Chain A
Amino acid sequence: MKQYEFLPHTADTKIRAYGKTLEKAFENTAYAMADVITDHTKIKPDVEKTIKVSSENKEALLYDFLEQFLILLDSEGFILNKVKEMKIEDNKLSARIIGDDKPENYDIKTHIKAVTYQEMFIKKEKDKFVIQVIFDI
């Protein structure tokens, strides 16, 4: 199963991510988002952080989770390499995230302004979860 893919969108970036579990699909959404900014597989795993988010429903949880990466990038220069130990229960999420806080060492493609609700969905299909998000660039 592919982790994620980019779909056509005129002004911004639309992605679809997949996962056998909801956790895996959330994790792959984070990788798709990181891939908009830079090749995340090349980021050194030097810094580790914990993310905890609690929201009113699944879509809001996804929005709030992804927004954490924008806050961390702007305030601490953090760019993602890997998500570990993701847990989602009752619209509460916790995860450990690993990456680097020296963005100047990497080839940056572009920055993301915001996560949006536009055309967002989280679907359970027969054997997998599918997530769609558009990022405002």
Chain B
Amino acid sequence: MADNEMKKISDIIWEIPKTGKMNVPTRIFASEALLEKMKQDRTLEQGKNVACLPGIYKHAIILPDGHEGYGFPIGGVAALDYEKGGISPGGIGYDINCGVRLLRTNLKKEDIYLKIKELLESLFKHTPAGLGSSNIRVDKDVLEQVLNKGARWAVENGYGNKDDLENCEENGSMSTADASAVSDQAKKRGMKQLATLGSGNHFLEVQYVDKIFDKEVAEAFGITEEGQVTLMIHCGSRGLGHQVCSDYLREMEKTLPDIVAKMPDKELVYAPAGHELCNRYLKAMSAAANFAWCNRHIIGHQSRLAFDEIFPNAKLDTVYDVAHNIAKVEEHDIDGKLKKVYMHRKGATRAFGPGRKEIPKKYQKVGQPIILPGSMGTASYILVGTEQGMKASFGSTAHGAGRTMSRHQALKQWRGESLKKELEQKNIFVRSASWKGIAEEAPGAYKDVDEVVEVSHKANIGNKVARLKPIGVIKG
């Protein structure tokens, strides 16, 4: 893209004006350095394509961790009108409700270092990673209950507690879910994967609070002091969610060829609002989202058991759980009018400010917690949603660091064994199902998460509350 196409709004906000088939401009939240990285691949072009979707309001958005995806860029946000817009599976991604859950503990980092290896072994035993199958066997009937009820099913069956549900986006259960909209082959893929981590960039990480930026908000989130130990769970809807996305992309491609023909990219296909396929995809996507919430909820429960074996007095409470690949029906103030929209967030986190009815009562005063994972071995952050973000980015912010180097290149550059030793010298311990998996996720293959967070904070769309540093990582 030529530089003269880009309008500078501020030091960290850029705009690609509306041209050609675009219905609105595209807005980018990025520092100059992050913007340069986006220019290296098709991120900006994909952001322009999103602006071509029907019924899109205000602008298509690219967040500071934006990079090339399928259809939408990763770090892409779009609000499509509830009646004149529609839903695009490419605006959610293959890993439906990939997301992050954060638990706080009553332990201090000094307690943990003495027994970190035992703790990692215990966590690894309780939560299968890589291609490992679930410890919980479910049949089709039970799986359908999981899809319809989400994390509520888990509590009804003795995993976790009601407090976990309260501190979870959508309370861990989307009411729009309907298991009958999910294909049998998607169910087959999910059957052995309940409460498993999976692979790729997914992880389970023992961390400590390295720095508190906003004491008052941190306290509202139960983060009371530096050195406090936290646990972060990053995973999604596994093969079930991937198959739901694939099934519906293919079905839309077959039944809506006119829409495919007019879109700049096949994977940007959408089901128009009111179309049977739009309603059915929303049901299936919500069911996959419920599966993901149930996964993270039970992994939280299993982690309590794992901690209990090593630290019998440990207490783990859920701070919050956020989705970063999802579409939802939301209401937003658009130019002074309240509009109902299909809100798409792909590689983007909901970042609602104070007062929104969707967030837990105890966070209403300060805004919702936003959990932003770094890459393996680097810092993660807790941010808070803002009033300003509701207008600037439909209450959305970044979701993580974003890759800058291919997995193949990372495998050439690092070896799992030596990387593990290097991290151990920094007091970060890694347990993984595969050595190659460690090398592929080398911290050097990712963007600087600190810079992504700085942009979010400066743009006032997700403000810094605390920084978390890793002690031990289970890598999927």
Write the residues of chain A forming the contact surface with B, with a CB cutoff of 8 angstroms. Answer: 6, 8-13, 56, 60, 63-64, 67, 70-71, 73-75, 77, 103-104, 107-111, 113-118, 136-137
Contact = CB atoms under 8 A, between A and B. Distances in A.
19 contacts: A10-B40, A10-B68, A10-B403, A11-B68, A11-B69, A11-B74, A71-B185, A71-B239, A71-B243, A73-B131, A75-B185, A77-B131, A103-B131, A107-B436, A108-B199, A108-B434, A115-B246, A137-B200, A137-B407
Contacts of B193: 74
Interface string B302-313: 000000000000
A93 to B, nearest CB: 15
B130 interface: yes
Contacts of B191: 75
Given A8-B409, A60-B253, A111 B199 contact: yes
Contact of A10 (B200, B242, B404): B404
A113 B440 contact: no
B408 interface: yes
A40 B111 CA distance: 44
Contacts of A13: 406-408
A109 B131 CA distance: 10
B94 A110 contact: no
A117 B246 CA distance: 10
A136 B70 contact: yes
Contacts of B266: 117
Contact of B131 (A71, A104, A115): A104
Contacts of A73: 131
Given A70-B239, A136-B70, A75 B188 contact: yes
B334 interface: no
Interface string B170-206: 0000000000000001001111110000111000000
Given A10-B68, A10-B404, A108-B434, A113 B267 contact: no
A118 B242 contact: no
B426 interface: no
A111 B242 CA distance: 12
B437 interface: yes
Nearest to A103: B131
A101 to B, nearest CB: 12
A40 B407 CA distance: 18
A11 B245 contact: no
Interface residues of B, number: 49
B261 interface: no
Contacts of A113: 94-95, 200, 242
A6 B412 CA distance: 12
Contact of A114 (B67, B245, B404): B245
Contacts of B130: 108, 111
B41 A10 contact: yes
Interface string B244-271: 0110011001100000000000110000
A68 to B, nearest CB: 9
Nearest to A63: B250
B136 interface: no
A67 B189 CA distance: 11
Contacts of A137: 200, 407
Contacts of B250: 60, 63-64
A103 B129 CA distance: 13
Given A56-B254, A74-B193, 10 more contacts: A9-B408, A10-B406, A13-B408, A64-B250, A74-B190, A75-B189, A75-B192, A110-B440, A118-B70, A136-B70
A103 B196 CA distance: 16
List the 6 closest A-B pairs by CB distance, nearest first. A74-B239, A74-B189, A75-B188, A111-B199, A114-B94, A109-B436
A121 to B, nearest CB: 12
Nearest to B41: A10
B435 to A, nearest CB: 8
A8 B185 CA distance: 31
B404 A108 contact: no
Given A113-B94, A118-B267, A108 B433 contact: yes
A118 B199 CA distance: 22
A71 B245 CA distance: 13
A132 to B, nearest CB: 15
A104 to B, nearest CB: 7
A110 B189 contact: no
B94 to A, nearest CB: 4
A119 to B, nearest CB: 9
Interface in B378-398: none
Interface centre among B238, B406, B435 (most CB of A within 10 A): B406
A12 B405 CA distance: 9
A10 B201 CA distance: 13
A124 B261 CA distance: 24
Contacts of A111: 130-131, 198-200
A65 to B, nearest CB: 13
A110 B253 contact: no
Contacts of A117: 70, 249, 266-267
A103 B192 CA distance: 14
B406 A8 contact: yes
Nearest to B402: A11
Nearest to B190: A74
A111 B94 CA distance: 13
Contacts of B74: 11
Nearest to A11: B403
Contacts of B402: 11
